[in-house]
Amino acid sequence: MTQDELKKAAAAAALRHVLDHTATGAIIGVGTGSTANFFIDALATVKDRIGGTVASSEASRQRLEGHGIRVLELNEVTELPVYVDGADEITPRLEMIKGGGAALTREKIVSAVARTFVCVCDASKLVPVLGKFPLPVEVIPMARAYVAREIVKLGGQPRWREGVVTDNGNDILDVHGWSITDPAGLEQRLDQIVGVVTNGLFAARGADLLLLATPEGVREYRN
């Protein structure tokens, strides 16, 4: 199976989960990236069953609207039963690195509101320890160099993702060289640096369910 076929299988499993666990008319949280795109395409086949969606990026909003799926602002929504999104890396404890698509801040906000975070991945994303994938950190542009120096003090090697501006108008630093054995601790530490908007560690609020597509079928991991 190709990686895209695996991503599609994970997205199809997520759609089955959503249909089995949410009431007709529910609002669905939708993530960002190529796996989330497969989920959006699958969601389009049942768009009359859902009340609408909340998107974690402008790219996902456009794709959803292109399918004729209603997209609401998060501020209009009080109940979000489920959020479906991919990850760049995920551990068996369902801690993640996210933000490869620069949407980490909105992803973290939407997932904070959601009752259940369903992560959809192909098998290559499952790792014992986070950090091989560079950790994205969204920063206020004027603080970029300062934040980079503070990250160096913590042992990381930050690189500015030049030419990329987030949906919130900010910059991204990708931090290399970390083997992250305490994801929750590092997530908290990075958030304390002035000028950091969000970091791509999703450990304090990890996923609740991982649907991991392998050539042998979709495996489920729960928290």
The only residue of 1, 21, 26, 34 in contact with ligand 5RP, by rule CB under 6 A: 34
| 8 Å CB contact between 25 and 51 | yes
The only residue of 8, 17, 63, 98 in contact with ligand 5RP, by rule CB under 6 A: 98
Check residue 29 for interaction with ligand 5RP (CB under 6 A): no
Going from the C-alpha of 26 to that of each of 21, 23, 51, the distances in angstroms are 10, 6, 5
CB of 136 to ligand 5RP, least distance (A): 7
Active-site residue, from 107, 138, 150, 187: 107
Q: Is the CB of 64 or the CB of 104 nearer to ligand 5RP?
A: 104
Check residue 86 for interaction with ligand 5RP (CB under 6 A): yes
Question: For this structure, is 107 an active site residue?
Answer: yes
Closest CA to 181 of 140, 137, 127: 127
Please tell me the total number of residues recorded for the chain in this structure.
Answer: 223
Q: How far apart are CA 223 and CA 201, in angstroms?
A: 17
Report the half-sphere exposure of 170 (CA within 13 A, side-chain side): 21
Residues forming the active site? 107
Residues that bind ligand 5RP (CB under 6 A): 31-35, 85-88, 98-104, 107
